[in-house]
Amino acid sequence: MESPLHHFEVHTIIPIHIGGLDLSINNAVVAMWVGLAIIAGAFMLVVNRGISPIPGKLQSVLELVLEFISDLVFEFIGKEEGKKYVPFITTLFLFILACNLIGLVPGSYTITSQVAVTGAFAVGIFIMTLVIGFSKHGMHFLGILVPPGVPKIMIPLMVPIEIVSMLARPISLAVRLFANMTAGHTVLAVLFGLALTSPGWVSWMPFGFTVVINGLEIAIAFIQAYIFTTLTCVYIGDVIKLH
């Protein structure tokens, strides 16, 4: 019987080592490529076919997604400022969604269940917010550490609290996505293991649960991608508006 965590293991497919760096192509990289290929392929198909005023099926779905995300960005960042960030946020949402959904195909690999991947996203976004903040407000950006309406005596207490809450943001962003995906897939693996090992007259029960939980996992894939992008918008918006 395989361990329920077996499907999170990374296997090297094509070993590449350049100057001590391990740049091997492994199953996680391949799954990421597939995710990119699906999204890019869908958009390229629509554009190549010609964008018509009366949208076809695929075109309406993609237009819906783009509108949904630009509404999200405009709500949290603002209509004028937000325009610059729509492409980035859309890419982020679609990539995370594609990765989450690919993980649900049996035998594939869930890239978002690797804390290295979600952590890289979160740290990248954190650095991006810092860069946006400092380039927009200069040294006034440090004022984000002092919430408005705080009495002067409280400032020495509030600044460490604000620093911790700032640093907690990217980590909670990364941990949330990683933990949800890992937990869901482990539950699926455990239930499926039960279905395979138990005698025939009870094995329909865990198998039924895997079907139900698979449906739940599809919902979670959407919710987690949505939460990740919403919070990215909120953080960028906070930095731009500065309170």
Residue 161 in contact with another protein, rule: CB under 8 A: yes
Residue 182 in contact with another protein, rule: CB under 8 A: no
Residue 100 in contact with another protein, rule: CB under 8 A: no
In angstroms, the CA 206 to CA 91 distance is 37
**Packing angle of the helix pair 115-137, 86-102 (nearest 10 deg):** 170
Helices (H), the chain: 27-49, 57-77, 79-82, 86-102, 115-137, 155-197, 200-241
Closest CB to another protein among 27 and 230? 230
In angstroms, the CA 77 to CA 147 distance is 19
Residue 227 in contact with another protein, rule: CB under 8 A: yes
Binding mask 102-141 for another protein (x = CB under 8 A): ----------------------------------------
Residue 12 in contact with another protein, rule: CB under 8 A: no
Mention every residue, 6+ apart, whose C-beta is less than 8 A from residue 46: 56, 58, 59, 62
Candidates 126, 127, 130; CA nearest to 144 is 130
Residue 54 in contact with another protein, rule: CB under 8 A: no
Least distance to another protein from the beta carbon of 165, Å? 4
Q: Which residues bind another protein (CB under 8 A)?
A: 68, 160-162, 164-165, 167-169, 171-172, 175-176, 179-180, 219-220, 222-224, 226-227, 231, 234
